[in-house]
Amino acid sequence: MFARRLITMVDERSKRAKIVEECCAQGPVEWDAINRLRAGGVVDHVEVQGTTLIMDVRIGEGEVRFGPAAKDTGGQALKSLYVRDGKVETTWMGLAGASVGVGACLPQAEGVEKVEYLSDEQVGGSRQVEIRLTTLPHRRLIIGIDDTDTKDKGATWVTGLNLGREMPHGLMLTHKIVQLNPHAPHKTTNCAATALAFAVLPDDIERTIEWCRKFISENTYSDQTVMTAFEGLDIPSSLVRFGAQAKDTILSIHDAEHVAEKTGVRIIKVTGERGAIGAVAAIGCFDLGLYSAGLPEDFGHT
């Protein structure tokens, strides 16, 4: 039906998870986003990107409150998320028309391994449906890249996009072009790094990182190329600050190495070391929305 793919990424250390739900149209995504926020459960934040719904959720169970309007409008909720026996179990509830999305659409999404109906399997009308879905526990892996080009050849954002398209081990979620300080002394043209987020199974983390390193080494034109890797759902605040500073401050390789060591960012020197500044900053800026692509003056900051 409407749901195309369901990806569950977990971080058991922080008791957090991120669910990416890809749909065939924007309307169902926007409607689901509002209703899941309204109903409570374990959903803390939602973001709509075109036909994709991204939810930040808590690991555990939460109270579902459809509210007085639910009788007339229906409702949808994510009641719980647990990691059991190496799999993710999510429990969903749907009321009235919204029960179609929960009871019929989500079970057909790519990524769903098992469906259990905890209520009647009939959907639609005035029915309330509750189901449990089993999916794989992916991790979010962010790869940062900088300094792959020269003044005559290449573009780092293109290298990153090609890497994401050819990735055999993980599912590409997001590709970002990160604008950095255009006054940096060793920039090539406009001083932009790039970063990509992947949903990767735990056993594939190391082979994914090594595949990226090899791909970049075979496609760079620079002798100063650096790649970075960060696993997790929450980017540490000191790493975010470093990324923001890299937009209007001249930073050093030592600065990059220092913040990377503190925040769990892995620096991999592919052909040199100068790209470490941009590759670390690209991860720091990754979750900043449009700010990652701009400079402070674009947003009224100096």
Q: What is the pLDDT of residue 102?
A: 78
Q: What is the pLDDT of residue 151?
A: 79
Read off the pLDDT of residues 212-231 as tens digits, 9 standing for 90 and up: 999 999 999 999 999 999 99
Nearest to 212 by CA among 167, 256, 175, 177: 167
Distance of alpha carbon 59 from alpha carbon 141, whole angstroms: 19
Residue with tokens 């991790």: 139
- Which residues lie closer than 8 Å to 40 by C-beta, 6 or more apart? 62, 63, 64, 65, 77
Nearest to 156 by CA among 228, 255, 59: 228
Same domain, residue pair 131 and 143: no
Centre a 10 Å sphere on the Cβ of residue 166 and count the other Cβ atoms it contains.
11
Same domain, residue pair 74 and 176: no
Q: What is the pLDDT of residue 35?
A: 87
Q: What is the pLDDT of residue 237?
A: 97
Same domain, residue pair 163 and 186: yes
pLDDT beyond 70 at 141: yes
Distance of alpha carbon 273 from alpha carbon 211, whole angstroms: 19
Same domain, residue pair 71 and 213: no
Count how many Cα atoms sit within 13 Å of the Cα of residue 82 in the half-sphere of its side chain.
9
Confirm if 159 and 212 have CB atoms less than 8 A apart. Answer: no
pLDDT beyond 60 at 264: yes
Read off the pLDDT of residues 1-44 as tens digits, 9 standing for 90 and up: 688 999 999 999 999 999 999 999 999 899 889 888 888 899 99
Distance of alpha carbon 147 from alpha carbon 185, whole angstroms: 13
Among 135, 155, 181, the domain boundary falls at: 135
Same domain, residue pair 124 and 158: no
Among 114, 135, 156, the domain boundary falls at: 135
- What are the structure tokens assigned to 256, written together? 């990059």
Same domain, residue pair 159 and 239: yes
Read off the pLDDT of residues 199-209 as tens digits, 9 standing for 90 and up: 999 999 999 99
Centre a 10 Å sphere on the Cβ of residue 46 and count the other Cβ atoms it contains.
20
Q: What is the pLDDT of residue 154?
A: 84
Q: What is the pLDDT of residue 105?
A: 85
Give the DSSP H or E segment for 276.
helix 276-284
Q: What is the pLDDT of residue 69?
A: 54
DSSP class per residue in 42-90: TEEEEEEETTEEEEEEESEE--B---TTHHHH-EEEEEEEEEETTEEEE
Q: Which residue has the higher pLDDT, 71 or 270?
A: 270
pLDDT beyond 70 at 252: yes
pLDDT beyond 90 at 300: no
Q: Which residue has the higher pLDDT, 138 or 188?
A: 138
Among 135, 168, 199, the domain boundary falls at: 135
Read off the pLDDT of residues 46-55 as tens digits, 9 standing for 90 and up: 999 999 999 9
pLDDT beyond 90 at 275: yes
On average, the pLDDT of the chain sits at 91
Same domain, residue pair 18 and 67: yes
Q: Which residue has the higher pLDDT, 73 or 289?
A: 289
Domain tally, the chain: 2
pLDDT beyond 90 at 285: yes
Q: Which residue has the higher pLDDT, 255 or 39?
A: 255
Same domain, residue pair 108 and 158: no
Distance of alpha carbon 294 from alpha carbon 300, whole angstroms: 11
Res. 126 pLDDT band, cuts 50 70 90: low
Residues of the chain above pLDDT 70, percent:
91
Same domain, residue pair 72 and 170: no
Q: Which residue has the higher pLDDT, 71 or 295?
A: 295
Q: What is the pTM of this model?
A: 0.92
Same domain, residue pair 86 and 209: no
Same domain, residue pair 253 and 204: yes
Q: What is the pLDDT of residue 70?
A: 54
- What are the structure tokens assigned to 141, written together? 């892996």
Range of the domain at 263: 139-299
Same domain, residue pair 98 and 187: no
Q: Identify the three-state secondary structure at position 278.
A: helix
CA distances from 185 to 29, 84, 96 (A): 44, 51, 61
CATH number at residue 271: 3.30.70.2200
C-alpha dihedral sign at 285, 289, 292, 298: negative
